[in-house]
Amino acid sequence: MGMIPVVLAIAGFVLLWIIVNYNSLSTRRTNIASLQVARDQLLASYVRMSKELSALLLIYKKEMPVYLVELANDPSQKINASKLSSSIKQLTLQANGHTPELQNNPDYQELLSSAELTATKLIKNQQRLETEIKAYNQQATRMPYRIVAQLFGFKRINSLVR
């Protein structure tokens, strides 16, 4: 009769430990999924803005920076933050001084500021997503969590690009 309470206490502790670990892994996986959805939405708005900017630039016989065209054509690629920033700066320089018509065009200025804002959000989103994926993978492979991860099918996430 004396061993039953001890066994029940240990079983309760193990069950509580499993629940806490499961919830921790599940929360991280949910955060990753929501960050990927946000990334997809930002990329969709970027692709739309990129097409509008490209059409506007074509009127003034200017070209979009190569990286912006590549990203619009293949939004599933990993975003290179420095290339994205320099490409947006290149668009800004095209308007400032080189082409006064672009500088005075309110549509171009609005699209450019939206593109800059979207680029900033994309870079921050990618950084958070990479950090969250790294933390999830580390947690899922560490020993106490690994047992729960294997038990409930939490798989390693290899890349932020789908």
pLDDT in tens, 30-47: 999 999 999 999 988 988
Q: What's the predicted TM-score (pTM) here?
A: 0.82
Share of residues in the chain with pLDDT > 90 (%): 41
The SS3 of residue 131 is: helix
pLDDT of residue 54: 85
Cβ atoms of 32 and 132 closer than 8 Å: yes
| Alpha helix stretches (DSSP H) within the chain | 3-59, 66-73, 81-93, 100-104, 106-141, 143-152
For the ranges 11-15, 77-81, 153-157, which has the lowest average pLDDT? 77-81
Q: How far is CA 145 from the centre of its chain?
A: 25
Cβ atoms of 62 and 47 closer than 8 Å: no
d(CA 138, CA 146): 10
Cβ atoms of 51 and 73 closer than 8 Å: no
d(CA 149, CA 42): 31
Task: Choose between 149 and 93: higher pLDDT.
Answer: 149
What confidence category does residue 162 fall into, taking pLDDT thresholds of 50, 70 and 90? very low
